[in-house]
Structure 1
């Protein structure tokens, strides 16, 4: 009886291990680190989202991967395709920027829609990209994105410029 119980526990353990080592539930391809900076009207665009839209085929995936990076307080972003700052698959991309207003509060109750873009959608259309960039194997550094005299959503508070 104890011997059968031990065998059953070992079998369950083996099956659990095999189940846990199966491939991810999505197609994963190699990515490479991509970093850059964004400043808008003289300040780091903290909270802005930089998205890379693929322009070339990404062999090995069912659906195209559009890596995104969130700009930190210093104006720096690192792209993410799957998790963490893992970067982007090699290839050609067009780049867009949106800057959600974190202080926006919709009137009334219920589930609020996403916050409006401080940049009024001007830099968020992949058909009118901010720039084009080719990701290569290894470390990738994007030239600084500097948007001066950008029209900002009325009533939106912007971070202060560093002294």
Structure 2
């Protein structure tokens, strides 16, 4: 029974460690921290899909989105009177938002220290939490490391005992 537990602890630990970067970090929206709001409006999600860990998206510029989350196609009515259809990633809109009006803002996200700023849509009430994000990432990584270490140490004890003759 111990062998099964230890064998399961190793992949669970590795999955938790990877989940910290592919699930936890994207959830908190650290890229939006300190970014300027360039437009305000209302979005109505028309179609949504849950995707990950790497998904094709046209939000903000036809590239892959890393992490698990909702990607929605939405019709956005900006306060300046313009209307456009955009893809919204990062679970800012979800399947529950299809057909409903949601207040949104467009933030200018800086992807490479000033040389590549791209507009991305966020819920108007969304606030990125950088400290909470990194604290959660560290806690999830630590938990994953502990699970994997327990599994490896248990397996090494089991296999080292089997190789030593009992007197």
Smaller-chain TM-score bracket? under 0.3
TM, length-normalised to structure 2: 0.25
**More helix, by proportion:** 2
More relative contact order in 1 or in 2 (CA 8 Å, sep 6+)? 2
Higher strand share: 2
Q: What is the TM-score normalised by the length of structure 1? A: 0.25
